[in-house]
Structure 1
Amino acid sequence: MHEEIILSGFGGQGVLFAGQLLAYAALAEERHVTWIPSYGPEMRGGTAHCTVCISDEEIGSPLVRHPSAVLLMNPPSFQRYMPLVRPGGLLVLDEGMISERSNRDDIHEVAIPAKAIAAELGFDQIANLVLLGALVAATGVVKFETLDKVLEEHLSLRHQDALVSNRLALRRGAEYSLPLSLK
């Protein structure tokens, strides 16, 4: 197994945190992992993205040109990364933030009202985890039990009151996805 994943959105939407959780979960499952963050000088409000490579073997390069999966939280990210998804790959996006669709018949697209779901759960800022739940459910790249464990370990002390909502966000996102084979 070798998955190359891009997560992208505005700074402050939690795409780097979602990428970290994915990377920590893969490490907990004793996989080879790279996580590379990138963000503009504005950080909150500017563009932020990260790449996560997860493999059963050593990773030759952390650079991702044609990702097997992409998680998108804003229109500029859609414009930049949607065309890069390799055929047979997965595109997960927040339909409340991104009105466009890929119209590609060679990829799997999952559009979720992530921001609305996060608001229902009482924490607007957990839309990232709704989308991450969909990505993990579709790809099976890590186990949900592992993701739950690393979420609890890496959620900051000031956000521990939102742990239950974060876990619910992952599961609500998963409800929108069917398991895929991204080979």
Structure 2
Amino acid sequence: MTEEIIIAGFGGQGVLSMGKILAYSGVMQDQEVTWFPSYGPEMRGGTANVSVIISDTRISSPILHEFDTAIILNQQSMDKFEKTVKPGGVLLYDPNGIVNPPTRTDINIYKIEGTKIAADLGNVKTFNMVVLGAYLKAKPIVKMESIRKGLEKSLPERHHKLIPLNLEAIEAGQEKLEAVNEVSV
């Protein structure tokens, strides 16, 4: 099993940390992992993306041009990465801020109202965990126990008190994933 993922959005949406938690979770399952971030000089508001590869076998390169999954959180990223999803792959997006939703018919498309769900949970900073939960519902490549360990590893100890809230956000994302287009492979 090899899963090649791109997560893309604005800086400040938790794109890089979502990728880091996913990568750490793969490590917790003794899988081979790469985490390859890319972002502009802006701290918040600029575009950011991260590619993550999780594999049972050795990974030859972290540089990818096509992905099994794209998690898209803004229109610029949709414009850039929708076409890079392999046929039969997954595109997951939050419709908040997406003017032109995905149109491909050869991929599985899911949406998650991550912004709204995080606000309903009482903490908009859990947005990325809601989206991560939706992704794990669509493609359960790591176990929840590994995600918990990944959160412990990637969050500073002073923030460990937030792990239960993050796990709640992940579960909410799993419950509220919406299929837009599903293809049989």
| TM-score under structure 2 length normalisation | 0.91
Cα offsets for 1:66-118 (capped at 9, x unmatched): 10001111111111111111111111111122242212111111111100111
Counterparts of residues 29-178 of structure 1 (less than 5 Å): 29-175=29-175, 176=177
Gaps of 5+ in 2: none
User: Structure 1 residues 30, 182: closer, same or farther in 2, change over 3 A?
Assistant: farther
Alpha carbon RMSD of aligned pairs, Å?
1.9
Cα offsets for 1:35-69 (capped at 9, x unmatched): 01111011311111100011110011111111000
Larger strand share, 1 or 2: 2
Number of residues of Structure 1 aligned to a counterpart in Structure 2: 182
Gaps of 5+ in 1: none
Q: 1:18 is matched by which residue type in structure 2?
A: M
Q: 1:28 is matched by which residue type in structure 2?
A: M
Deviation at 1:181, TM superposition (A): 10
Rounded Cα–Cα distance in structure 2 between residues aligned with 1:91 and 1:141: 15
Rounded Cα–Cα distance in structure 2 between residues aligned with 1:120 and 1:111: 17
User: Structure 1 residues 182, 9: closer, same or farther in 2, change over 3 A?
Assistant: farther
Counterparts of residues 5-16 of structure 1 (less than 5 Å): 5-16=5-16
Rounded Cα–Cα distance in structure 1 between residues aligned with 2:97 and 2:160: 27
Deviation at 1:152, TM superposition (A): 3.0
Rounded Cα–Cα distance in structure 1 between residues aligned with 2:125 and 2:73: 12
